[in-house]
Amino acid sequence: MLVNLFSPRGIPADYRHQQGFGVNTYKWVDAHGETRLVKYHWLPTCGVASMTEADAAAVQADDLGHASKDLFDAIERGEYPEWELHVQMMDDHDHPELDFDPLDDTKVWPEEMFPPRKVGTLQLNRNVANNFAENEQISFGTGVLVDGLDFSDDKMLVGRTFSYSDTQRYRVGPNYLQLPVNAPRNGPPATNQRDGQMTYVVDTGGENPHVNYEPSAMGGLTEADYPHPDEQGPELTGRLTRARLPRTNDYAQAGERFLLMQDWERDDLVGNLVANIGEATDEVRRRMVWHLFLCEDELGRRVGEGLGITADDVRDLTPLETQTLDDGERKRLENLGANGPRDVEGHTMTHCVPNEHRRVPG
């Protein structure tokens, strides 16, 4: 995440040229209860374009809302922005053959192993008529699902599923799903709730409108049938635990991403890391250079040069108490700064599509 964020990929040129990536892993469920793990990707049809920090500073000096204005103006001109929706799929089990946990939100799935499949296209073909009604009251949440989509055991998704809906109930109101911008397109919402802020419909369907609980012998609401069996996916056995993920592998994908970047992206990443890490204490600076050497020799060396820190200066640092290094990471630590570049031949990572450098004139 840090290698991606501090590179130009963290500063899209505008919204039309921005990729989307669902961090969380969901499940697709068929009518027989068979499941597949899925990750979603949005790819702009007009291509990906980013700015360096210097480019962004120059743009923001004149227009703080440049990305919103660009999107609005493009739609008004009839140049409707489009994104292709791609899905990666994986069999629903632990995948011991991988060197990372597929439900770890800090990891991506290699595309040569799990190729993205195009499943649809999103087009923005009109601007909102009322910004508050159609924009400010939008209430996204990971817990609002359609048939055939379900939650995986992704730890962060489990937390978000409660917190996002709870936040929208607090921010907008308990009946936020009744608002047109949040309601289903093909039918009225049916939450089995009664009254509260912004209520303007009552769940009906031939039931007794005076009974808002179930089950009831007086014709109250009844829960709809699920479109898939209650039992789904693989059969699991084990103990409930609060232990850390066993396959953390914190450094490999960061190093691979660095090597798969374009030259201008690597240059900007190094400059951003040097500038920001340089504001920290000496202890933090040394530890960050240690981390970056474990990611990739060149990344650690170049950031270290900018901070005046070499591999020898941090070689004696021991792993953090919360870290558990695997055999490969311990070997890299023993040979810190002289491991050679990682092998990325034939490797394709999420977000490593070509990135246009959107330079600012002057």
pLDDT at 227: 72
φ, ψ for residue 43, nearest 5 deg: -120, 120
Asked if pLDDT for residue 351 goes beyond 90, the answer is no
pTM of the model as a whole: 0.90
Checking if the pLDDT of 222 tops 80, the result is no
Mean pLDDT (the chain, rounded): 91
pLDDT at 85: 97
In the prediction, which pLDDT does 203 show?
67
Looking at residue 204, its pLDDT comes to: 66
Contact 109, 39 (CB under 8 A): yes
* Average pLDDT of the residues in 67-91: 97
Closest CA to 159 of 140, 143, 172: 143
Highest mean pLDDT among 75-89, 167-181, 223-237: 75-89
Q: Mean per-residue pLDDT for 121-145? A: 93
Query: Which tens digit of pLDDT belongs to each residue from 180-216?
Result: 899 888 877 877 777 888 787 776 665 677 777 778 8
Residues 6+ positions from 297 with CB-CB distance below 8 Å: 337, 338, 339, 340, 341
What value does the mean pLDDT take over residues 60-89? 95
Q: Tens digits of per-residue pLDDT, 276-326?
A: 999 999 999 999 999 999 999 999 999 999 999 999 999 999 999 988 899
Residue position matching structure tokens 């990707």: 41
Residue 29 has pLDDT above 90, yes or no: yes
Over residues 86-113, the mean pLDDT reads 94
- pLDDT at 318 (0 to 100): 95
Confidence of residue 362 (pLDDT cuts 50, 70, 90): low
Residues in the chain: 362
Task: Pick the closest to residue 307 from 328, 276, 340 (CA basis).
Answer: 276
* DSSP summary character for residue 226: P
Task: Report percent pLDDT > 90 for the chain.
Answer: 69
pLDDT at 78 over 90: yes
Mean pLDDT calculated for residue range 17-41: 93
For residues 311 and 305, give the distance between their C-alpha atoms in angstroms, rounded to a whole number. 10
| pLDDT reported for residue 246 | 81
pLDDT of residue 206: 59
* Strand ranges inside the chain, DSSP E: 20-21, 26-29, 35-44, 48-50, 82-91, 117-123, 149-151, 355-357
Mean pLDDT across 328-349: 96
φ and ψ of 217, to 5 deg: -85, 0
Mean pLDDT for the stretch of residues 96-102: 93
Q: What are the residues facing 37 on neighbouring strands?
A: 27, 90
